[in-house]
């Protein structure tokens, strides 16, 4: 992916997809400028593990989370997203107390209708406030065209993405026109990488799922292999129907359907602890046999597990912990 984005866009892959410092380090080695996270615990855990440049692409609200972000900022170059002046003030105060600083991207709603300022005027107000607050460095704007990235029709995906990016770029221009430099324009996901990652105005692409892929992303982009599978065991067979010991609690989502690349088959349903598979043609699959299942949506899958078994040429060569899974309970401070 680092080779597919086009200058001036650089890759800042989303680590919510793997929550693993070893994967993040490989991405940076391959050309990424740092990582993106969704949660403060992802940022703190990856910073502790040596990842040096982190964007928390989400609003950080409340003393406990702000303390975590400051912790991440003590170990890594930190950038955060902000959509409200009061929140910027809270961040500024906590960073000042710690004698630390963070970059800020103003979060712009470009179509998801959740976080993010709703207009260029509002973005300018927040950018102005951030520029004047101590220990904050206004870096630019970010948005997420999540409503476009899994749109199956290529022409519609292109149209929606260009409209979303236009809103982000207009916002950046409005801020610049009012005398505030905008260095960073950050957006994107795997489903829109070839649009957002090649836009001459976008400086950072937040795509993440490309690293592992899954059936949702394989439906819209090509050129990235399936790297993440869940190992299943056949626990029951009745005619051409087999039952696997994986389900929503291990695979994650049910739609789009997971697939079994090695076995002509269709998934009838994914239950809590079982997946029911209809085999195509005559197959010798037996109870006890193990097969690999490609999940529906990898970020939700990895959130269910504690470690990766790293396989090279059918041999398990390493175990990588998902250090950024959960909310940081293991350190005890979430329970204070």
Residues lying near a copy of itself in the complex (CB under 8 A) are found at 16, 38-39, 58-62, 65, 83-84, 86-87, 109, 112-116, 118, 146, 233-236, 238, 241, 243, 245, 248-249, 253, 268, 271-274, 276, 287-288, 290, 299-300, 303-307, 309, 319, 326-327, 329-330, 335
Q: How many helices (H) and strands (E) does the chain have?
A: 10, 15
**Least Å distance between CB 249 and a copy of itself?**
5
Cα–Cα–Cα angle for 185, 191, 195, rounded to 5 degrees: 50
- 8 Å CB contact between 76 and 47: yes
> 3-class SS at 117?
strand
Q: Which is nearer to a copy of itself, 166 or 334 (CB)?
A: 334
Q: Which is nearer to a copy of itself, 96 or 304 (CB)?
A: 304
Q: Which is nearer to a copy of itself, 10 or 65 (CB)?
A: 65
**Least Å distance between CB 32 and a copy of itself?**
21
3-state secondary structure 40-84: HHHHHHHHHCCCCEEEEEEECCCHHHHHHHHHHHHHCEEEEEECC
Q: Which is nearer to a copy of itself, 100 or 119 (CB)?
A: 119
**Run of H or E residues at 137:** strand 136-142
Q: Counting Cβ atoms within 10 Å, is residue 287 exposed (0-12), middle (13-18) or buried (19+)?
A: exposed
Q: Which is nearer to a copy of itself, 32 or 277 (CB)?
A: 277
**Least Å distance between CB 329 and a copy of itself?**
5
**Least Å distance between CB 270 and a copy of itself?**
11
Q: Which is nearer to a copy of itself, 11 or 324 (CB)?
A: 324
Residues in CB range of 304: below 8 A, 6 or more apart:
249, 250, 252
**First-to-final CA distance of the chain:** 41
**Least Å distance between CB 6 and a copy of itself?**
27
Q: Which is nearer to a copy of itself, 227 or 235 (CB)?
A: 235
d(CA 336, CA 334): 6
Q: Which is nearer to a copy of itself, 12 or 16 (CB)?
A: 16
Cα dist from 207 to 17, 142, 319, whole Å: 9, 13, 24
Can you tell me which residue has the tokens 């090649």?
Answer: 198
**Least Å distance between CB 31 and a copy of itself?**
26
**Least Å distance between CB 109 and a copy of itself?**
8
**Least Å distance between CB 254 and a copy of itself?**
9
Q: Which is nearer to a copy of itself, 153 or 268 (CB)?
A: 268
**Least Å distance between CB 215 and a copy of itself?**
16
* 35 beta partners: 54
The alpha carbon torsion through 39, 17, 307, 69 (nearest 10 deg) reads -20
Write phi, then psi, for 243 (nearest 5 degrees).
-115, 125
């Amino acid at each position: 992916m680092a080779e597919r984005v086009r200058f001036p866009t650089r890759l800042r892959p989303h680590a919510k997809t793997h929550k693993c410092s070893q994967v993040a380090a490989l991405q940076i080695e391959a050309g990424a400028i740092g990582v993106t996270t969704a949660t403060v615990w992802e940022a703190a855990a990856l910073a502790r593990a040596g990842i040096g440049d982190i964007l928390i692409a989400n609003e950080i609200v409340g003393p406990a989370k702000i303390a975590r972000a400051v912790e991440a900022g003590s170990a890594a170059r930190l950038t955060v997203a902000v959509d409200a002046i009061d929140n910027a003030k809270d961040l500024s105060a906590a960073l000042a107390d710690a004698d630390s600083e963070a970059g800020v991207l103003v979060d712009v709603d470009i179509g998801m209708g959740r976080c993010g300022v709703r207009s260029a005027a509002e973005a300018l107000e927040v950018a102005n406030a951030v520029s004047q607050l101590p220990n904050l460095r206004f870096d630019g704007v970010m948005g997420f065209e999540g409503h476009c990235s899994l749109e199956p029709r290529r022409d519609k995906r292109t149209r929606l993405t260009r409209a979303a990016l236009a809103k982000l770029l207009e916002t950046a221009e409005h801020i610049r026109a009012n005398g505030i430099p905008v260095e960073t324009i950050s957006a994107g996901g795997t489903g829109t990488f070839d649009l957002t990652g090649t836009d001459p105005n976008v400086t950072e692409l937040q795509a993440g799922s490309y690293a592992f892929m899954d059936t949702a992303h394989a439906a819209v982009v090509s050129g990235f292999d399936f790297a993440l599978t869940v190992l299943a065991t056949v626990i029951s067979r009745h005619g051409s129907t087999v039952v696997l010991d994986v389900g929503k609690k291990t695979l994650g989502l049910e739609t789009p359907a997971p697939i079994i690349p090695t076995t002509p088959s269709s998934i009838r349903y994914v239950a809590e602890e079982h997946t029911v598979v209809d085999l195509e043609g005559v197959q010798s699959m037996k109870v006890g046999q193990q097969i690999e299942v490609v999940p529906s949506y990898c970020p939700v899958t990895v959130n269910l597990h504690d470690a990766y078994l790293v396989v090279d040429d059918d041999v398990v060569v390493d175990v990588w912990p998902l250090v950024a899974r959960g909310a940081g309970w293991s350190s005890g401070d979430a329970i204070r």
